[in-house]
Structure 1
Amino acid sequence: MSTPINPYRGFRFPAAIINEAVWLYHCFSLSLREVELILAARGIEVSYETIRDWGLRFGRDFADTLRRRRPRPGDKWFFDEVFIRIRGKQHYLWRAIDQDGVVLDILVQSRRNTKAAKRFFRELLKGLRYAPRVLVTDKLKSYAAAKKDLKLGSEHRQSRYLNNACEVSHQPTRRRERHMKRFKSAQHAPRFLSIHSAIHNHFQLHRHLISATEYRTTRARAFTIWREVTGLALTP
């Protein structure tokens, strides 16, 4: 029986500290320097640059594994796009979630026309490999045109307010954008947001919809999965 590869091998800090730093940075609206301060209060001297490197090195693997482990998303998908500024130029962040609030995918593009909508649909469908029963969007005509071109048989509901759930899901991104004083490049934004969306979403448990007992059980399960995903369950 082969021994699993330890991803933390060769690092000066133990897995628990690296994991804590990545978790703090992506689960809460904290800057790199604020995470550095929290760790310093616990007697851990590590620079914010090191924390950034940990986030890039380990965050992608954590996020990808969380996506693979999540249950099959719901059959009702909500879409929305918001503008973000990158080096003074306007871009659009496209986002899709299901009816349970699970972030399905994000994509940063410089346009929000039919071509951009088709690209987002293709990326989303390629990753999930099935089409939804219902698409819910605002009244942007690009969605309808892209759906027609791709010959999607899903029911399409267009309304100014029906996709409010997806609009709300942009809020963590806006908070991160303010903390980071905007994204540095068109490559940096999707790379960071794909990591942040998966990790942050994993711990968003909709506490207002469930009882305290259910919440504690769900939270415990989320932490168990997190320890397995990050390899902490295998480290001594």
Structure 2
Amino acid sequence: MPSVDDLFKGRHFDREIIVLCVRWYLRYKLSFRDLVEMMAERGLSLAHTTIMRWVQRYVPEFEKRWNRFARQVGGSWRVDETYVKIKGRWVYLYRAVDKAGKTVDFLLRAKRDVAAAKAFFRRAFARHGRPPGKITLDGYQASHRAARELLTQHRAGGVRTRIRSSKYLNNLIEQDHRSIKLRLGPMLGFKRFRHAAITIAGVELMHRIRKGQFALSKFRAVGTTAPEIWSAVLAA
């Protein structure tokens, strides 16, 4: 992992400006051009494509650095899919939260099928080290099949996971989708799948930060501001 100085080496603008623009774009309902105007009021001349490139370049690095401080999630997951438009076509965002509403994982896929669901569960199991005690799904059978087939492989190691179907219990994940969709709406659709995946990862990161899913007690001295916490996390 490069040092924070190497990460921003050779950039025309200070790293504080880069982090601020990326953080605000991911967190608030702002377009690239909104940010250009806001920076112009502060005496900074930026092109909207510059901020777009910053988002694509730095979101994966920010995610890696914040994930070092991630708290564990609970053992009861609610899993569901929502829709995102890319170049005029709908694709599928698989997401899961635990019973306390903490984000478990997410994955953008072009299709909604068994292979896509397996890819999501495989990623989520690997990220958290093992399957959860319970997985709650809706009635879509492809997701049930994917979960069962992957869990069969893990059961040889003694893991027992209960799969259940409940529209009522999955209201929690459906409500959580709204926070993501409300931020994606002003972005007016994506042109490339890879760019969409990176941007969504950044939006999900900001959502996790807002939900307190990171152990940042050592950075939260009295009076510590968000920029100071970000600087400390990136430099740690």
Q: TM-score, normalised by structure 2?
A: 0.82
Cα distance in 1, alignment partners of residues 16 and 163 from structure 2: 46
Q: Which residue of 2 aligns with 1:179?
A: 186
Counterpart pick for 1:226 among 214, 219, 230? 230
SS for the counterpart of 2:174 is helix
Cα distance in 2, alignment partners of residues 131 and 17 from structure 1: 40
Could you tell me which amino acid in structure 1 is paired with residue 188 of structure 2? K
Does 2:137 match 1:133? no
Cα distance in 2, alignment partners of residues 200 and 219 from structure 1: 22
Contact 1:103 1:198 in 2 (8 A): no
Could you tell me which amino acid in structure 2 is paired with residue 138 of structure 1? D
Deviations 1:141-164 (A, max 9, x none): 222212221226212231112112
Contact 1:86 1:185 in 2 (8 A): yes
Q: Which residue of 2 aligns with 1:210?
A: none
Could you tell me which amino acid in structure 1 is paired with residue 34 of structure 2? E
Q: Which residue of 1 aligns with 2:109?
A: 109
Contact 1:32 1:52 in 2 (8 A): yes
Identity of aligned residues (%): 29
Could you tell me which amino acid in structure 1 is paired with residue 17 of structure 2? I
Question: Quick one: higher RCO (CA 8 Å, sep 6+), 1 or 2?
Answer: 2
Q: CA, structure 1 residues 34+218, in 2 after alignment: closer, same or farther (shift >3 Å)?
A: farther
Q: Which residue of 1 aligns with 2:216?
A: none
Deviation at 1:117, TM superposition (A): 1.4
Contact 2:20 2:227 in 1 (8 A): no
Counterpart pick for 1:203 among 179, 202, 210? 210
Q: CA, structure 1 residues 66+79, in 2 after alignment: closer, same or farther (shift >3 Å)?
A: same
Q: CA, structure 1 residues 77+222, in 2 after alignment: closer, same or farther (shift >3 Å)?
A: farther
Q: TM-score, normalised by structure 1?
A: 0.82
Deviations 1:173-219 (A, max 9, x none): 3233321211212222222211221133212459xxxxxxxxx9899
Contact 1:114 1:146 in 2 (8 A): yes
RMSD value over aligned CA atoms? Answer: 2.7
Could you tell me which amino acid in structure 1 is paired with residue 161 of structure 2? S
5+ residue gaps in structure 2?
155-159, 214-219
Cα distance in 1, alignment partners of residues 230 and 163 from structure 2: 35
5+ residue gaps in structure 1?
207-215
Deviation at 1:5, TM superposition (A): 5.3
Cα distance in 1, alignment partners of residues 221 and 168 from structure 2: 33
Q: Which residue of 2 aligns with 1:58?
A: 58
